[in-house]
A = this chain, B = another copy of it.
Amino acid sequence: MTETENLESRYLKSGLKMTGQRRTIIKILDEASDHPSVETVYARARQIDPSISLATVYRTLSLLEEMDLIIKRDFNDSYARYDTNIDHHHHLIDMESGAVIEFKNEELEALKLKIARDLGYDLLDHRLELYGRKKSSSS
């Protein structure tokens, strides 16, 4: 969960232009601990810069995704959501609150490599999502 560098400095290294709009969006992503949708990023961006357009949010998020600075996800929603954390991890989605919890598991990493190997494949990427309900020890 602790990243060496924030998104802004990683972006700056690319040499691409830094505009007011991009700075706004990158700041929002840097501060986001959730996995915001385009609309959410847009809403937050408007609080900082009311004149920003949705098209710019779409374009900037696509750009950052192509640069592998963020990752596009779909948690069975009808819209895309973005993940700022590029470290490899998985998600547990709380089906009651919609909260997304990140986790890592070494055993799983080993197992999935083994499964792919057994099927005759080199693993390039993968995803695991768990959908659950919070255990209540009382009720």
Contacts and interface: CB of A to CB of B under 8 A. Distances in A.
Interface of A: 74, 76, 92, 94-95, 101, 103, 105, 107-108, 111-112, 115-117, 119-135
- What is the predominant secondary structure among interface residues of chain A facing chain B? strand
Contacts of A131: 123-126
Contact of A103 (B92, B119, B125): B119
Number of copies: 2
B94 A105 contact: no
A103 B123 contact: no
19 contacts: A74-B74, A92-B119, A101-B119, A103-B115, A105-B115, A108-B111, A108-B115, A112-B130, A115-B130, A119-B132, A121-B130, A121-B132, A121-B134, A122-B132, A122-B135, A123-B132, A124-B131, A126-B129, A127-B129
A71 to B, nearest CB: 11
A108 B116 CA distance: 13
Nearest to A95: B124
Contacts of A107: 111
